Amino acid sequence: MSVAQKEQIDKKSTKDIDDVIARAIKKIGARKENELCKYLPMKTGGYMHHFTLKKMKYRQPQELSSIIEKFVIQSDKPIIVAPKQRAPRGSRKRKDHMNFTRMQLERMLNIARLAGDKEIITILSPKRSLAACKRDLIQSIRHNKVEQDLWNNYAESVNTYNQMLTIDPSSANL
């Protein structure tokens, strides 16, 4: 088969599929081609996605034509296919991740403080702004206290602030 014959067959099949789609759209009373998808069932369940319809229109026009003929044109009353069952929103969340209320977090933080566990204290402590860290550090200096955690929090806040400035200089409101 020559290239010219293939192109002629492709043009004919494109014209045929356009004609079939137009008849189907007219039969169901739709305005757009995508509305046709709800009447075309898939083997995996649910109805055909509009991307699949577009892809099949150009890559597998005969197969799409036969599906449309079978489920829309030859059917006395085309039936809207129920959508495919999907996983509920939030189902991809990690199951081992625990969500705590503010009161529970405060209780755990107090327990960690009583136990003297610095690592757990830093994990459970809320992240503070640069201004809050600076204020707390100045207060500890005024009371002649040396707290390494305050200095570490301040240094981390300064680094985060500097990184933020390099990304977005307009966010320089300290």
Quick one: angle between helices 61-68 and 3-28, nearest 10? 20
Query: DSSP characters for 64-118?
Result: HHHHHIIIIISSSS--PPPPPP-PPTTTTS-TT-----HHHHHHHHHHHHHHT-H
* pLDDT of amino acid 21: 92
Three-state DSSP state, 41: strand
Q: What is the rounded CA–CA span in Å between residue 29 and residue 22? A: 10
> What pLDDT does residue 91 have?
61
pLDDT of residue 170: 63
Could you tell me which of 139, 132, 18, 135 has the C-alpha nearest to residue 68?
A: 18
Q: What is the pLDDT of residue 120?
A: 83
Q: What per-residue confidence (pLDDT) applies to 51?
A: 94
Residue type for position 18: D
What tokens does 102 get?
A: 């503010």
- Per-block average pLDDT, block size 10, for the chain (174 residues)? 60 79 92 92 91 92 92 91 80 70 87 86 76 87 85 81 72 56
CA angle (152 as vertex; 130, 145 as ends), nearest 5: 95
Report how far residue 110's alpha carbon sits from residue 120's, in angstroms, rounded to the nearest whole number. Answer: 10
* Domain boundaries of the chain, sorted by first residue: 9-73, 98-126, 128-174
Looking at residue 93, its pLDDT comes to 61
